[in-house]
Structure 1
Amino acid sequence: MKTWLDSWPVFRQLTGSDPLGRGQAARSRKTEQVTSRTATADRVVKSICPYCAVGCGQRVFVKDEQIVQIEGDPDSPISRGRLCPKGSASKSLVTSPSRVTTVKYRRPHGTEWEDLALDEAMEMIADRVMAAREKGWQEFDGDQRVNRTMGIASLGGATLDNEENYLMKKLYSAMGAIQIENQARI
C-alpha cells in the first residue's frame, strides 16, 4: 500500500535501491508520464551542423514532416554525439517564426526592404556577376596573355566546409577571377 511518503523523493532514496538519488528515486509520477520528442519521431535523418566548418554530425528527429528535435550524432567520428551551444540550438535555425523565408531586396538609395521572387533575384545576381566580369576583364598584361578578370574577388569564411571552398575555387577560377582567398589562410 502506497502512502504519501512514497511520493517523497528523499524517502524513496533512503528506502529504495537508489541511495544516491540519481535514478528511480528522483523520478516523479509526472516524469513517468512524459514521453520524449525523440521517442515519438516518425524518422531520424542524419545531417551536419550548418554553423562552422567542423562538420559535427547531427540527428534530426522528424514527426509529421516537422523537425521536433536535433541532437548530436554519436556515430559521427568528428563530434561523437556532442554539439556546441550553437549546434544544440540549430533547431531554431529552421523552425523559428522570425526566420526570413523570402528573398529581401533594398533598391539603390532605398530605405525599405521588399520581397523579391527567387527567379528574379537569381537573374539579377547572374547579370551583375557577368557585368563585373566583363568590366574588369583583362586579356593581356603587356604582351602576355592572361585572360582574367579583376572585377571579381572571393573571400571564403570559416563557416564553409572544404567541399564548399573547393567548389567556390573552381567556380571563380572558371570565371577568370584570380583574387580567391579563404579566411583560414589570412
Structure 2
Amino acid sequence: MGRGRTFLDWPVVRQLTGADPLGRGAAVESARTRDWTARTETADRVVKSVCPYCAVGCGQNVYVKDDHVVQIEGDPDSPVSRGRLCPKGSASEQLVNADNRLKHVLYRRPGAADFERLDADTALDMIADRMVESRRRWWQDTDEDGRPLRRTMGIAALGGATLDNEENYLIKKLFTALGAIQIENQARI
C-alpha cells in the first residue's frame, strides 16, 4: 500500500463501513482535502466591485489578502446578477493576477519601431497636451453664416462597455464640455 496506508484507509472501505454509504461526504475525503481552506475564508477583506467585461454590470466580491486579490466571486447582494457570474466574470481574478499583464505605460513614438516605457504622469501630460492642442486647432466657434457652433471636430470619444453608467455619464459630460460632438459607446454600436 505504501506511505503508512492500510486496507482500512481505502475510500470504498470507509464508505461501506462508515456513516456515508453513498460515498458523498466524509468517506471519500482524503486527509489532504479535509485540511484545505477556502481562499475566501483567509481573506483580510472583501471589496465590492463590478465585473469589467460587458455592459451588464454584474456585482463582484473581490477577496483581498495582504493587498493581493486572491479570489473574485459573484456578489449575492447585487440586484443585477444576484451572485451569478458568466464564465468570463468568474475568471476575472486571472485578469488581475495574470503574469503577462502589463502594469506600466508603453508608448511608441511616431515612426519608431519599438515601444518605450513611460511613467503615468508623463503619459497623462502628453494626453492632456494633445487634447488641448486638438481642441484649439480644430475649434469651430461659428458656421459660415455666423450661427454659433462651439464645437471641435478634432476630438472624438468611443467608450467601452466595461464602464458603468456613472463612468459613461462623466465621460459624456467631459467630452461635451470639451466641445466634441462625435461621442459614441461600443455598447450602442
TM-score by length of 2: 0.87
Report how far residue 125 of structure 1 moved: 0.4
**Any conservation in 1 of the 2:55–2:187 contact (CA below 8 Å)?**
no
Runs of 5+ consecutive residues of structure 1 not aligned to the other structure:
none
Q: What per-residue deviation string (whole Å, max 9, x for no partner) do you get for residues 76-132 of structure 1?
A: 222222222222222222222322111111100001111112111111101111111
Q: Aligned residue for 1:161? A: 164
Pair 1:175 & 2:170 matched: no
Map 1:97-116; keep pairs closer than 5 Å.
97-116=99-118
Q: Aligned residue for 2:15? A: 13
1:144 to 120, 143, 147: 147
Looking at structure 2, the residues matched to 116 and 90 of structure 1 have their Cα atoms a distance apart, in angstroms, of: 27
Pair 1:37 & 2:34 matched: no
Residue identity over aligned pairs, in percent, reads: 65
TM-score by length of 1: 0.89
Instruction: Label 1:80 to 1:26 Cα distance change in 2 as closer, same or farther (>3 A).
Output: farther
Q: Aligned residue for 1:128? A: 130
Report how far residue 26 of structure 1 moved: 2.4
Pair 1:90 & 2:89 matched: no
Q: What per-residue deviation string (whole Å, max 9, x for no partner) do you get for residues 49-92 of structure 1?
A: 22222221222222222222222222222222222222222222
SS at the partner of 1:185? coil
Pair 1:73 & 2:75 matched: yes
Looking at structure 1, the residues matched to 22 and 64 of structure 2 have their Cα atoms a distance apart, in angstroms, of: 36
Runs of 5+ consecutive residues of structure 2 not aligned to the other structure:
none
Looking at structure 1, the residues matched to 9 and 133 of structure 2 have their Cα atoms a distance apart, in angstroms, of: 74
Looking at structure 1, the residues matched to 27 and 118 of structure 2 have their Cα atoms a distance apart, in angstroms, of: 58
Task: Say how many residue pairs are matched.
Answer: 184
